Amino acid sequence: MTADLLDRARAGDGDAFRELVGPYQRELRVHCYRMLGSVQDAEDALQEALLAAWQALPGFEARASVRTWLYRVVTSRCLNARRAIARCRGTSAPPGPEPPGPELPEPTRLGEVTWLQPCPDELLGALADTAPGPEARYEAREAVSLAFITALQRLPPRQRAVLILRDVLGYTASEAAAILDVTENSVASALKRARAAVRSGASQPPAAPDSPGEKRLIERLTAAYERGDVAGIVELFSDDAWLAMPPLPLEYSGRDLIRRFLTAIAFRDGRTYLAVPVRANGQPGLAAYLREPGAAGPATASSLLVLTLAGTRIQAMTRFGPGIFPYFGLPPALGDR
């Protein structure tokens, strides 16, 4: 960045401003997603933050880098957005309607983060933040995984911001305090509580992206989904696997409950699907297109399944509705291949 570019942007040159913030836009979008857990909310917050930054730029005194200043503006906007969203939704999203079918099994528990959305890998870039500091504790893939994003959403907003700034982006305590306009003691206290809340037991690491093991799993899952083979699908899960389906709060644990849910809902009455591999949050998944028994015409968008793997077993499957398909560039219907 040159001083001339900053001066031109301060003077109201829109092209200079876009050139100034352009290198940071992707990572700021991911930051908003981590803060809010929703691609749509993240995009709205980012656009509002960039407008606020444009309006505030004449007052920018360059005491910190442009990147750090942008994180201050964007983080503040996300905290405000979370408060506004919470007022609209209440303390959590209201339960959605129950899926159809009289044989719906009793869920293991009701999920809290019902506003969660998956993020296409294309929006995440190379799954790495720009110049993460030496104190960053999370690997790039872990820091965008659905499990981590879900854990973040359960934290109070200020703790969430501190954990992201310190342990994901690697800002020092003093830098995080300046971004959030709080004391270093406040940052240290919030970080300690946040780390304790998101700590989880170690699990077997997933197969590497696009590795032979991951590819074989996706091939087997795709084939089982397309022939309506519930037993073949459940065979791919670990014994302690979970199935979740935001915005519905229902969550099922264990192969038996997952089998019962898939039989009663997803594959009831002989339903089958066309399945298209996708990637979201650095994880593999499938876009499922429903083929109603005996129905003519193309298959229609039904659900997007994001998989959390332990080795080459499915440790969790998170099922999202077709409203998320446009973010992945997926069509609303699909003809036979």
In a domain, residue 26? The reply is yes
In a domain, residue 290? The reply is yes
CA–CA distance from 322 to each of 125, 261, 282 (Å)? Answer: 23, 19, 20
In a domain, residue 188? The reply is no
pLDDT of residue 337: 59
In a domain, residue 227? The reply is yes
In a domain, residue 266? The reply is yes
In a domain, residue 137? The reply is no
Domain harbouring 330, CATH code: 3.10.450.50
pLDDT of residue 136: 73
In a domain, residue 162? The reply is no
pLDDT of residue 91: 47
Domain with 241 in it: 212-334
Q: Are the C-beta atoms of 259 and 234 separated by less than 8 Å?
A: yes
Per-10-residue mean pLDDT, the chain, length 337: 85 94 95 96 96 94 92 97 74 47 81 94 70 70 92 96 96 96 97 89 76 96 96 97 95 96 92 95 96 84 97 96 96 84
Burial class (CB in 10 A: 0-12, 13-18, 19+), 336: exposed
pLDDT of residue 130: 52
Last residue of a domain, one of 91, 116, 146: 91
Last residue of a domain, one of 31, 63, 91: 91
Cα dihedral 46→52→57→62 (10° resolution): -60
Domain harbouring 2, CATH code: 1.10.1740.10
Domain count within the chain: 2
Contacts of 213 by beta carbon, 8 Å cutoff, 6+ apart: 207, 311, 312
Q: Is the four-CA dihedral 263, 264, 267, 268 of positive or negative sign?
A: positive
Last residue of a domain, one of 58, 76, 91: 91
Say if residue 331 is preceded by a cis peptide, omega within 30 of 0. Answer: no
184-198 and 173-180 helices, crossing angle to 10°: 100
Neighbours of 52 (CB within 10 A): 15
pLDDT of residue 3: 82
Please state, in angstroms and rounded to a whole number, the distance separating the CA atoms of residues 319 and 235: 18
Query: What residue spans of the chain are helical by DSSP H?
Result: 3-10, 14-21, 25-36, 39-56, 66-89, 121-124, 146-153, 157-163, 173-180, 184-198, 212-227, 230-234, 255-261
Query: What residue spans of 117-237 are helical by DSSP H?
Result: 121-124, 146-153, 157-163, 173-180, 184-198, 212-227, 230-234
In a domain, residue 168? The reply is no
pTM: 0.90
